[in-house]
Structure 1
């Protein structure tokens, strides 16, 4: 498995690609974006035509659209230090609901059993360099573009486990429904391959975020927030909370609801203060790190990358209060999972935006 930083320099990658004539390389594929420089746009076009010379112009354009969107949807995260791990919750929650918790230095109970079971309860200081992370999870439709042009089967299956037919009418209708759902994965490598494919197309160091990068972004650069929403709460449709000052339960009004009851689109939840969506939805996300229960106790303070080897990969999830943002771990699955996805990051300290 490739390491996080074992990629060719993006400048070098662009230079080494064969040069095409201006007419062939730049006139057919369209890149229309105020956030992508002309040099970056030309690199994308050249890379597509070099890597996929035999596919249709429509397919080449689909790749370009995915690549440009991936760049436009990046959120630049300034580096800094934070306390990584379960920063504790009150033993008795005043609102009487896990979806509405306020942090206090007096909190001394774990926020859920995951903290103890996964080794996430050990708070430790981490300092990260700047990086960029996708504001959305990778969508089903975007990953399908990569899989189709790469000759890979659908990342999907029928209920009985048989593979779906990409050319069937049923799948085309299904694709419309799943267009902005988080991509399905069966293995960590599915996620890794997609992010590195974006790197091949854009000549930028796309990869999976590290576990520390994921948590730092979810907590808006280390704030003590229990959910990655606009206000740190999950205000569910039809939900309510107890107000200890009045002694009454309060129902959320329609305009206060910030979380649907079930999985929908990658942008269904409002962004956190950093501008990142969906880190407290019902989807677990692969990160780059191998899993070890005791890793937090001896991880490096600067840019931790996870253990050097292992048998499982870390997943992070913010759908419930278990270790603030749950620390999960898994090996490969036997089928593509609807609730297991990922988002990509760019591993460079400078912003890629104009």
Structure 2
């Protein structure tokens, strides 16, 4: 994970010269301004006056890192939805497809069922989106300072993991650099809104149009959000029609995984510098789900139906950059296969 980690020079109240002289928490950053950091410190101290310095420091680190890890996405227009694929794929695998203007077939088995076959033009304003999915530790520090339970449960009986348990310690150690599990859409929404509260920046979940536009490198006709548009899995291969042979990917070619336990940022980013948008983990977005929405959605910055009973999730196992799937608002258990990333809903860069 190629985060720009924070430098902490002032963790004790006796030290001075960093950020707010009256605060016992502090941070420095190569990208986030001192003024912005001071704002976050002030808000944390004001909103959580009784929290320990350790909790406040963890919250500060999380908020500053969230700003550092934003990728600015310049707005523009693109065709949203299933943009088609050749009926006969020369590579003989759906993980390696090249688009051409004369495509005749739909790309996905789900397109008609979910309404994604309604290809339509969308124009987006500029925004920023997190380079990484939210990690387990980032979610934990937000939930702990807000006196919320751990975002994980015991598979044996469904009970929430207790913070004084051995499993909690294993959780922090094993999943510290893995995407957070979620059980409810609201958990993802609340995390992004919390970032907005402490930073005074308009953080929220991305819309599905924003998610797709970023995954497709500002709307290019790419089937996977990887460094080259192909999904190259360990042990897999493709057919080369020029040579007549199958070619197997070696370790340096691998750019995605079917595992749910990959590290955040483990595989190469897409050309925009965004990681994990083709990594087998579904991500919540802001939109309500409707199969007919693409037929009537507004051209400019669509935000989904006004109401519904299910939410849209993007990415996931064997799906392409345009595939959308419905999800209930609350799942039965915390799943490592469902996570999220936040977006900054403003047209200018955060820094």
Unaligned regions of 5+ residues in structure 2, if any? 1-18
Asked if the contact 1:269–1:277 (Cα under 8 Å) also holds between the matched residues in 2, the reply is: yes
Match of 2:5? none
Asked if the contact 1:319–1:325 (Cα under 8 Å) also holds between the matched residues in 2, the reply is: no
- Pick the aligned partner of 1:268 from 245, 257, 266: 266
Q: Take 2:215 and 2:149, find their aligned partners in 1: how far apart are those partners?
A: 32
- Pick the aligned partner of 1:171 from 168, 172, 196: 168
Mapped pair 1:237 → 2:234: yes
Asked if the contact 1:229–1:270 (Cα under 8 Å) also holds between the matched residues in 2, the reply is: yes
* Per-residue deviation, residues 97-139 of structure 1 (Å, max 9, x unmatched): 1111111111121112211111111110000000000000101
Q: TM-score, normalised by structure 2?
A: 0.91
- Pick the aligned partner of 2:251 from 254, 269, 274: 254
**2:110 match: secondary structure:** helix
**1:24 match: secondary structure:** coil
Match of 1:190? 187
- Pick the aligned partner of 1:212 from 209, 214, 219: 209
Match of 2:304? 306
Shift of 1:325: 3.3
Shift of 1:166: 1.3
* Per-residue deviation, residues 30-68 of structure 1 (Å, max 9, x unmatched): 111011111101101000100111111111110010011
Q: Take 2:142 and 2:44, find their aligned partners in 1: how far apart are those partners?
A: 12
Asked if the contact 2:316–2:337 (Cα under 8 Å) also holds between the matched residues in 1, the reply is: no
Q: Take 1:22 and 1:200, find their aligned partners in 2: how far apart are those partners?
A: 19
**1:197 match: secondary structure:** helix
Match of 1:32? 28
- Pick the aligned partner of 2:97 from 95, 101, 106: 101
Q: TM-score, normalised by structure 1?
A: 0.91
Shift of 1:162: 1.8
Mapped pair 1:139 → 2:135: yes
CA RMSD of aligned residues (A): 1.3
Structure 1 outlier segments of 4+, above 6 Å: none
Mapped pair 1:226 → 2:223: yes
Asked if the contact 1:97–1:241 (Cα under 8 Å) also holds between the matched residues in 2, the reply is: yes
Shift in alpha-carbon separation, 1:319–1:280, aligned structure 2, 3 A = farther
**1:179 match: secondary structure:** coil
Shift of 1:269: 2.0
1:87-166 to 2 correspondences below 5 Å: 87-160=83-156, 161-166=158-163
Shift of 1:251: 1.3
**2:305 match: secondary structure:** coil
Q: Take 2:131 and 2:283, find their aligned partners in 1: how far apart are those partners?
A: 13
Asked if the contact 1:288–1:313 (Cα under 8 Å) also holds between the matched residues in 2, the reply is: yes
Q: Take 1:260 and 1:303, find their aligned partners in 2: how far apart are those partners?
A: 31
Unaligned regions of 5+ residues in structure 1, if any? 1-20
Match of 1:344? 342
Shift of 1:167: 1.4
Q: Take 1:23 and 1:37, find their aligned partners in 2: how far apart are those partners?
A: 16
